[in-house]
Structure 1
Amino acid sequence: MSDAKASGRADKRRRALSGLMTILTALCALSAVAVLLIILGYIVWRGVGALNWRFLIETPKPVGEGGGIGNAIVGSLLLIALASVMGIPLGIATGIYLAEYGDNRFGKFVRFIADTLTGVPSIVVGVFAYSAIVLPMERFSAFAGGVALAIIMIPIVARTTEEMIRLVPTNLREAALALGAPQWRATLDIVLPAAASGIATGAMLAIARISGETAPLLFTAFGSRFFSLYLDQPIASLTVQIYNYAISPYDEWHAQAWAATLVLMALILAINVTVRFFTRRRY
């Protein structure tokens, strides 16, 4: 009987400790979500007053004449698209190599470089792109900005792709190889579709990261007060325009900076929801 009572008391203590830890972790999660909601709510509160249709389609104008961020929206979309075209395929290819063939000295070196680049300040990437592209071209350009943002994307996509591919069950690979498929075909037709959702999540994280970058674009794309789709010319972006308006002494530009921040947040959310939707439909 004494052994049964001791076992019962130990079981109650374990249950109580488990319940306490569950409550603590739930409170931590609630705190994190609450902070995020407070930040988002404050941005909406400060930015929604300056939002209107003209603000979304017009170019910047002098203080007192209104103006908008239409050119910055187009420029940001172009920079994100350009960086994604360069960064996502290269990042996915690097991740595939690290997951499937990277258990060697060269793979460890590439993995170390990717981890190092993930922690490098974005302004360092901007200075590198300025030295490597802007100075030889003798001008700021959208192409230089896209390259800088792609460099930031590559290690994020590569490491996420590697981890997602490693989570695919080994028996799927073995089944494909047993049927006579070469390893590259098994990777493309079996492993990648199985890891597609996780890879898409990594791509979204990378896009969200570059969407909020300002420092690299100050050294590369620089900015413009006009609409531009030329890759060899300076181009506007939401982050740079927010920065310029936020440090100005004018209340009108401060209000427009908050509104532009709200638009940027909505843009990132729309990109994430779109990628999630198409990923869920296909897989």
Structure 2
Amino acid sequence: MSHASQLRKPSTLQGASLPKWFSLAAAAGSIALGIGISAAAGLQSSIQWALIAAALYVLGTYAIAARVEGSRQGKDRVATSLIWVAFILAVIPLASLVYETIKRGVKVLDGYFLSHSMGLVSDSEPGGGIYHAILGTLEQVGIATVISVPIGVLTAIYLVEYGRGKLAKAVTFFVDVMTGIPSIVAGLFILSLWIVILGMGYSGFAGSMALTILMLPIIVRSTEEMLKLVPNELREASLALGVPKWRTIVKVVVPTSIGGITTGVMLAVARIAGETAPVLLLVWVTNFINSNPFSDPQASLPVYIYLQYSQSGGAGAAYDRAWAAALTLIAFIMILNLAARGIARWKAPKTGR
């Protein structure tokens, strides 16, 4: 046999393979069988037939793939199927939450709702708005951010660039402990210190201090990880040119990781924007506009949602206002996350080709 004919001969090492549309066909068949089995068994919950369909999809994929492609490819397809099932199970509750919030929240969400307070409207009456709650949330979260960002970033810089010995270990330990502190504990700490001992009274600033405690470990940890990703070669090159270490950190390390640091800060802000317990303990509630965060009770979106829903009885104007406020809070957090992604992409180091 000539060399050319040997090249033209198809290889016998290539085994049989399933078509590309096999996964979609298997998923459609599993859904149909799941619905049929649920109907035959009298199961009414959609969750039950979905779980049955998921189990049939994984088992059917393995059985067919192992028979056609071999057990090794069958195991690979099972792993892929499990990943897809886990992804869908994670997305469905999120999509359902967003859908329900939008469907119920758009009923009263308009310009009037966003620009008026509840000062002259009772909970059972239609009308009113969340302007006072939006203003309170922005001020409380803003103050907490102004306090926590410099402390958190500088702490992370110390741990990465200078931290050696017992002090660094102690700081790391307390940061880890603070990461797991429940929000109600942070609120109780500020309540006992600021209001009970010092007698300063309820205010937006008191709530901001509790939110600062919750923000700090997130900022420290995220900034620390971003700083560790900066290549040591950049530091060494700067130091080799005679640049002091502090100037290397300011001009080289921090600008290189500023995108990730900003993302961590935005995520921390999104984390505290929906906190209810410490705000309810320290800021208290009011239906009137209070633009001074350092004096008297102040409204906030999470507490506004809680109060409107608890007083609505599951229907009525207060019920609609609670869902509209929840939609506003979700939109606020989504805007923060999109802004974080945009800043991270904008500030990402540019690699030359």
TM-score (norm 1): 0.91
- Per-residue deviation, 1:13: 5.5
Letter matched to residue 39 of structure 1 = L
Which of 311, 314, 317 aligns to 1:248? It is: 311
The one of the two structures with greater contact order (alpha-carbon pairs below 8 A, sep at least 6) is 1
1:181 aligns with 2:239: no
1:27 aligns with 2:64: no
Matches within 5 A, 1:210-225: 210-225=272-287
Partner of 1:48: 106
Q: Which moved more, 1:22-31 or 1:94-103?
A: 22-31
Matches within 5 A, 1:19-168: 19-60=77-118, 61-62=121-122, 63-135=124-196, 136-168=198-230
- Per-residue deviation, 1:65: 4.2
Matches within 5 A, 1:242-281: 242-250=305-313, 251=315, 252-281=317-346
User: Which runs of 5 or more structure 1 residues have no equivalent in the other structure?
Assistant: none
With over 3 angstroms needed to count, the CA separation of the structure-2 counterparts of 1:188 and 1:27, relative to structure 1, is farther
Q: 2:73 & 2:168 partners in 1: Cα distance?
A: 45
Would you say how many aligned residue pairs link Structure 1 and Structure 2? 277
- Per-residue deviation, 1:58: 0.9
CA offsets per residue over residues 205-226 of structure 1, 9 Å max, x none?
Answer: 2111100100001111112211
CA offsets per residue over residues 217-258 of structure 1, 9 Å max, x none?
Answer: 111111221112212222110011111112114422121111
Q: Which moved more, 1:16-25 or 1:249-258?
A: 16-25
With over 3 angstroms needed to count, the CA separation of the structure-2 counterparts of 1:232 and 1:137, relative to structure 1, is farther
CA offsets per residue over residues 138-166 of structure 1, 9 Å max, x none?
Answer: 41011111111111100110011111111
- Contact 1:82–1:146 (8 Å) recurs in 2: yes
1:237 aligns with 2:295: no
- Contact 1:80–1:207 (8 Å) recurs in 2: yes
- Contact 1:140–1:221 (8 Å) recurs in 2: yes
- Per-residue deviation, 1:169: 1.3
- Contact 2:259–2:346 (8 Å) recurs in 1: no
Letter matched to residue 242 of structure 1 = I
With over 3 angstroms needed to count, the CA separation of the structure-2 counterparts of 1:201 and 1:26, relative to structure 1, is farther
With over 3 angstroms needed to count, the CA separation of the structure-2 counterparts of 1:13 and 1:172, relative to structure 1, is farther
Q: 2:91 & 2:177 partners in 1: Cα distance?
A: 29
With over 3 angstroms needed to count, the CA separation of the structure-2 counterparts of 1:13 and 1:92, relative to structure 1, is farther
- Aligned-residue sequence identity (percent) comes to 40
Q: 2:213 & 2:265 partners in 1: Cα distance?
A: 13
With over 3 angstroms needed to count, the CA separation of the structure-2 counterparts of 1:246 and 1:105, relative to structure 1, is same
User: Which runs of 5 or more structure 2 residues have no equivalent in the other structure?
Assistant: 1-11, 16-68, 349-353
Q: 1:121 & 1:159 partners in 2: Cα distance?
A: 17
- Contact 1:134–1:141 (8 Å) recurs in 2: no
- Per-residue deviation, 1:118: 1.0
Bigger radius of gyration among the two: 2
Secondary structure of the structure 2 residue equivalent to 1:50: coil
The structure richer in helix per residue is: 1
CA offsets per residue over residues 60-88 of structure 1, 9 Å max, x none?
Answer: 12121421111101111111111100011
Q: 1:90 & 1:29 partners in 2: Cα distance?
A: 37
Letter matched to residue 48 of structure 1 = V
Aligned CA RMSD, in angstroms, stands at 2.2
Letter matched to residue 83 of structure 2 = T
